[in-house]
């Protein structure tokens, strides 16, 4: 495992970082365990002071944090600023609501009285990806720290400066040493942490392949885990859709973060009656994007996160074409320095094509035309993934019907508003299990304890 900042705009290495030694890792784990012994006794108000302050500092220093993100993984600067602000709101959300979410729940047993109470479980180990370098951290730090746990985080190897900056943010906000710890460690060390009896829970946001490995390790160790993995979301367009609005969402849904989003629109499923109209307009909108410096506010398309990500995507397109897919737009890297790929649309992707079940993590869209609503639902469900999806129609009742029929963790009608602090996020099938954000996100790593009292003599 290597930790390097490489600017994908020009593929120049900025800085490299050394992995922790086993002894250094042991010291950080021991400190997290020690911190938990104290942190779990703090009141919600005491915890909230730290998390509120972190949110405030993140908001005040948004430009600083955004700059690091754009430098390391190429996110357009306007999107980077938006992510920083959203991360701040997530921290604030849990600082305000954690006590209410984890309040005792009164029960009404047939005999006596009882309640369920929530308590932290200890050190939680989190493995996080590069595509949203702060948002991914905020949505584990906010809930799990407010619940009274301490957190160890292995961030992605290509965003080490983002990882360092977020750890410093918590320390600057008054977090005690060991509360939130960034770890630059190897895969072997990561596996050892999951096995360590002092680690009580495991969370991953990443690929399905990584999820299988880490979930298996957590299961073997009998530890609770949450897995937010890949996605290949359906974007369903029915014959009565508002086409102008639909195209705007289609472009945003595929190209936000240069398409490097697990819940991005990836499979565009359009009923025959409007298929030609949609494809022509969508192709025109995609073709109008211009690659440029992600630090420039006027740039409409930035680079992929790395040269490796670009090469993987090009290889996937090549395999798709060799198995019968046709390129309606793009399909190649941009003729310029950096990890840039042309906006790409693939058509005629048949079920036997490997691309049919692939996740394209970048600016590649697959277009499918179907006979009717029923066929659209069937195709949407013919996927190994089940994260999100959307349906576009002027008939709200119809939209609700389709949303209910699609097998996925989230569905959106006439929008793709993926994430809000107060809405649970997650999926099914190969997308994994568990939920983040909302009131469900804070429940993943707490002990739900039954307490019951009966005023009666003990049985003889």
The residues assigned a catalytic role are 228, 262
Tokens 């072997």 sit at which residue? Answer: 188
Count CB neighbours of 347 within 10 A.
Answer: 16
User: 448 phi and psi, to 5 degrees?
Assistant: -95, 100
């Amino acid at each position: 495992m290597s930790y390097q900042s490489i600017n994908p705009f020009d593929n120049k290495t900025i800085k490299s970082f050394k992995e922790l030694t086993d002894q250094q890792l042991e010291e950080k784990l021991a400190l997290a365990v020690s911190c938990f012994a104290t942190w779990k006794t703090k009141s919600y108000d005491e915890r909230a002071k730290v998390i509120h302050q972190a949110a405030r500092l993140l908001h005040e220093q948004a430009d600083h944090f955004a700059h690091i993100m754009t430098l390391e993984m190429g996110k357009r600067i306007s999107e980077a600023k938006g992510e920083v602000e959203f991360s701040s709101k997530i921290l604030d959300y849990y600082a305000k609501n954690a006590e209410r979410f984890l309040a005792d729940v009164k029960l009404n047993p047939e005999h006596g009285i009882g309640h369920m109470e929530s308590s932290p479980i200890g050190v939680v180990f989190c493995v996080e990806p590069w595509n949203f370098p702060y948002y991914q951290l905020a949505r584990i730090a906010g809930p799990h720290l407010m619940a009274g746990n301490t957190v160890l985080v292995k961030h992605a190897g290509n965003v080490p400066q983002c990882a360092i900056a977020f750890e410093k943010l918590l320390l600057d906000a008054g977090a005690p040493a060991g509360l939130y710890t960034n770890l630059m460690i190897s895969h072997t060390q990561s596996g050892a942490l999951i096995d360590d009896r002092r680690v009580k829970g495991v969370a991953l946001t990443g690929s399905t392949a990584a999820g299988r490995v880490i979930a298996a390790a957590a299961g073997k160790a009998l530890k609770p885990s949450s897995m937010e993995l890949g996605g290949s979301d359906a974007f369903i367009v029915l014959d009565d859709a508002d086409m102008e609005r639909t195209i705007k969402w289609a472009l945003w849904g595929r190209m936000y973060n240069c398409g490097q989003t697990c819940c991005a629109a990836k499979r565009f499923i359009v009923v025959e009656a409007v298929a030609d109209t949609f494809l022509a307009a969508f192709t025109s909108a995609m073709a109008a994007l211009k690659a440029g410096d992600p630090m420039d506010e006027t740039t409409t398309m930035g680079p992929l996160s790395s040269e490796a990500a670009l090469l993987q995507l090009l290889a996937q397109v090549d395999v798709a074409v060799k198995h019968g897919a046709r390129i309606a737009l793009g399909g190649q890297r941009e003729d310029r320095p950096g990890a840039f790929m042309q906006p790409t649309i693939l058509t005629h992707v048949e079920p036997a094509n490997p691309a049919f079940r692939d996740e394209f993590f970048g600016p590649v869209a697959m277009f499918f035309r179907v006979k009717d609503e029923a066929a659209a639902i069937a195709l949407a469900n013919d996927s190994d993934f089940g994260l999100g999806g959307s349906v576009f129609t002027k008939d709200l009742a119809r939209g609700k019907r389709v949303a209910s029929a699609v097998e996925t963790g989230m569905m959106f009608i006439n929008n793709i508003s993926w994430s809000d602090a107060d809405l649970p996020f997650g999926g099914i099938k190969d997308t994994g299990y568990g939920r983040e954000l909302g009131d469900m996100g804070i429940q993943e790593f707490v002990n739900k304890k039954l307490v019951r009292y009966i005023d009666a003599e003990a049985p003889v």
